[in-house]
Amino acid sequence: MKKGLLVVVSGFAGTGKGTLMKKLVSDYDNYALSVSMTTRAPRPGETNGKEYFFVTKEEFEKTISEDGLVEYANYVGNYYGTPKQYVTDQLAAGMNVILEIEIQGALKIKERFPEALLLFVMPPSAAELKRRLVGRGTETEDVIEKRLKRAIEESEGIEQYDYILVNDDCQICLEQMHAVIESAKWAASRNTDFIEQIRSELKEL
């Protein structure tokens, strides 16, 4: 069985990546969404073990010292990290494992797992991003301003990703994401073992 692909998905707040990820997991059967560990407080409606594993700073640091995370980062004063066990188990079971994480973590994953695929979800335009953030109605004007400023910083790193995906129509973006992931599996650089195997079989003929 072919091993699954490790896929990192980043994007500005308000690009709709959360909805995309939920649809990816429900519409296709070979995706596993990693649940991160965080020290930030749960928002109303969030459940422990579903959106995140909510832990204390001490518990988080203990997990770091036990080498239980594949990556972690400090984001706006809180720790966020990806538990290792789930990722390794799901990849071994042939699933594509999705990490919805920010850029510092994404770059650490690329360093540690060079075969990982890095995707960045973009809004169709900056004006549309603002419209979506305002339209949600869940954030104050001040928070919206902070998120837009943060988007300017995050936009500096996009060239380090493998592909961008524009989320204009959610269904089209979802299908493109699946297609990119399936195609990426056939990159020569991700199939060096198979190439080597054919090479040595050829010599045996």
Give residues in contact with ligand 5GP (CB under 6 A): 36, 40, 71, 73, 75, 80-82, 100-102, 104-105
Min dist CB 100 to ligand 5GP, Å, is: 5
Kindly state the smallest distance separating residue 75's Cβ from ligand 5GP, in Å. Answer: 5
What are the angstrom distances between the C-alpha of 93 and each of 4, 30, 48, 67, 109? 7, 10, 25, 22, 20
Length of the chain, please?
A: 205
DSSP 8-state secondary structure symbol assigned to residue 37: E
Residues 91 and 39: their CA atoms lie apart, in Å, by 26
Output 36 or 167, the one with its CB closest to ligand 5GP.
Answer: 36
Q: Least CB distance from residue 73 to ligand 5GP, whole Å?
A: 4
**Which CB atom, from 42 or from 94, has the smaller least distance to ligand 5GP?**
42
Residue number of the CB closest to ligand 5GP reads: 105
Query: In terms of CB distance, is 82 or 90 closer to ligand 5GP?
Result: 82
Distance CA 187, CA 182 (A): 10
Residue with tokens 């991003």: 129
